[in-house]
Amino acid sequence: MPKDWMDLPRYSEEYINGVISFLDFAYSEGEPDGRQIQCPCKRCCNINWYRRDVVFDHLVADGFVKGYRTWINHGEWAIPMAVDDDTDDEEGARDDIEGLLNDAFGDVSHAEGVTVGQNEEAKKFYNLIDGCLHGWSNASFTSLLELLKEAMPDINIPSSFHKTKSMIRDLGLDYKKIDACPNDCLLYRKELKDEKHCRVCGTSRYTENSSDNSENQPDKKGRLIPAKTLRYFPIIPRLQRLFMCSKTAASLRWHDEERIKDGTLKHPADGLAWKNLDEMDEEFAKESRNIRLGLSSDGFNPFRSMNISWSTWPVMLMVYNLPPWMCMRPEYCMLSLLIPGPQSPGKDIDVYLQPLIEDLKLLWEKGVKTYDASKNETFHMRAALLWTINDFPAYAMLSGWSTKGKLACPCCNKNTSSLQLKHSRKTVYMDHRVFLPMDHPWRTNTRSFNGKQELRPPPPVIEGPEIFEMLQNAENVFGKKQSTSSSFPWNWKKRSIFFELPYWHKNPLRHNLDVMHIEKNILDSVIGTLLDM
C-alpha cells in the first residue's frame, strides 16, 4: 500500500484521504477488539486504544509517530499483536520482533514472497534472541553490536563487547578486580597478590573441586576461579571526569559562588563539619573546587528473591559540592566498592575499604592535577570525606562501636541506660529524661515514669581525639574464623579504618543515621505509641 501521503501536510486532502484509507485497512485487516485500535499518533505511540473517530482526530492534529511506515500494529503482514500477553510469552515476543525487523529492513517484502525468517539479518537477530531473551551474555552483546553495524553502517558504536569495555576503560570508568579471602581476612594485593592461601586462616584463594578438596577448580579456559572477588571502582578518575564537563565543573563551585550565606542551614557547607574542615586546613578551604564527600553502604540481595540468603554490599560516595538539587541525583552518586556475598562482611568491612581509604589519603595529602573545563585551566584537586550515613547495623560495621547489648547507644557510650526485661529477655533503653533541661517538671515527676526523680545531667559526648587515643594501641583482628580481640574497651569491636585519614579524628560528625530509618522506625513507633495503635 503506498504511503507517500504520510509526508504531506496534514491539512491537505491527500493526507486526510490517506488517514481514512489507513482506518479502513486497520478495521478490515487488524480485527480490533471492541471496535478500538491502537492510536499511532505522535502522542499515543501505539500505546493507547481509541475508537475510530478519536484516532482520526489524533492523526489529523498530531500526525503519525515517526518511522511508523509498516503498520504492524494494525494488521499489515497479518502479524498478531496481543495486548494482554504476558511478557514471558516467547511466541508473543517473536511476533513483536518480526514487526521490528520488517520496520528495520525495508527490502523484506511480503508481496515478493520473502518472509522475515528468510532474511539473513533476521536470522542473526533470531540467534541473538534465542541466546539472551532470558540472560545477557558477552557473546550475545557482541552479536547485537554486529547486527546494528550491518543495519546502520554509519552508526558510531564499538563492534564488540571487549571494545566497549576498552572504551569505558579509556574514559576512566573501569573497575579493578581484587581477590579476597572467603573468610574476609585479607585482600590479595600488593605483596600478597601472588599468594595462593590466606596467611591468617590458611583458606585457599580459589574455589575447590567438590571431588577432591586438595585440588583447585579451573574454569573453561584453564584459569583458577577466585573464591571471592572485590570490585573497586577508582574514585580519582571519576572525580576528575566531573570537571571535564563545563556545566558540571561550574556547579561544583556553587557552594562558594552562588549559595546564599544567610546563616541558615540549607546545605552541608552551612554545617559545623564543613566549617571545621575549612578551619583545619586553610589551603584546602581556599580552593572551592576541592571535593567534599559523603559515604554510605548497605546490604542487598542481588537475586530478587527472599528465599535466597545473600548479602552484597555496595559502597557509595556522594559529592556535596553540588547544589542540593544535583548532589543526590543517581548520576552523581558514585559506586566505589562492590563487596561480594554471600554473607555480610560485618566488622571486616575495613578489609575491603583499604583501596578506597588509600585513594582518599592521597587526595587529602597530595591531591591530583585536574583539568577544569569551565575555566579552561588545570588545578590541584584535593578531596576529603566528611561523614558516613547508614542504618544502625551498618553504623556499627563502619564505626566499630557495637550497636547491640547494654551499651548500644554510640552517643551515650559507657553511660547508656539499659534494662533487660524479665520475661521477653529483650534490652530496652530508658532514662531519657536526662536529656531534658535541669528545671523541666518531668524530671521530678515520679508517678508518670519509673517512680524515681531524674537529677542526672546528660551523658558527655566523647569526641574524636579521645576515641582515637583510646583505640590507638588496640590491635584489629579481621576474619570470620578469628576470635575478636578483648583489648577493646567498652562496646568497641575494632579501630575503624577511617581513623587512618589524618583529619578523621578531628571531625565532629563522623557517622550519621539515615533519615528513612529514623522516620520509619522511630517516628512511626512514637506516633503509634501515643495513639495506642
Cα gap 144→355, rounded to integer Å: 36
> What pLDDT score does 97 carry?
42
The grid coordinates listed for 461 are 559526648
The grid coordinates listed for 259 are 549559595
Q: Which of 449, 233, 274 is nearest to 359 (CA)?
A: 233
> What pLDDT score does 487 carry?
75
The CA R_g of the chain, rounded to the nearest whole Å, is: 32
> What pLDDT score does 95 carry?
40
> What pLDDT score does 217 carry?
56
Cα gap 162→32, rounded to integer Å: 46
Q: Cβ neighbours of residue 326 under 8 Å, at least 6 residues apart? A: 251, 332
> What pLDDT score does 34 carry?
52
Q: Are 453 and 443 in contact (CB under 8 A)?
A: yes
Please state whether beta strands 229-232 and 333-339 pair in parallel, antiparallel, or not at all (unpaired): antiparallel
Strand partners, 388: 295, 511
> What pLDDT score does 40 carry?
87
The grid coordinates listed for 3 are 504511503
Which residue's C-alpha cell is 596467611?
199
Q: What is the DSSP letter of 158?
A: -
Chunked in runs of 10, what are the mean pLDDT values of the chain (533 residues)?
83 89 78 70 83 88 83 61 36 41 39 39 48 60 81 78 76 83 91 89 78 49 82 92 90 90 88 91 91 92 71 92 89 90 89 94 93 91 93 90 87 86 86 90 89 89 88 86 74 90 91 84 82 82
Cα gap 45→386, rounded to integer Å: 48
> What pLDDT score does 116 carry?
39
pTM, whole model, 2 decimals? 0.68
Q: Are 506 and 498 in contact (CB under 8 A)?
A: no
* SS3 label, residue 508: coil
> What pLDDT score does 387 carry?
92
> What pLDDT score does 112 carry?
34
> What pLDDT score does 235 carry?
92
> What pLDDT score does 83 carry?
35
Q: Are 116 and 87 in contact (CB under 8 A)?
A: no
Cα gap 213→85, rounded to integer Å: 49
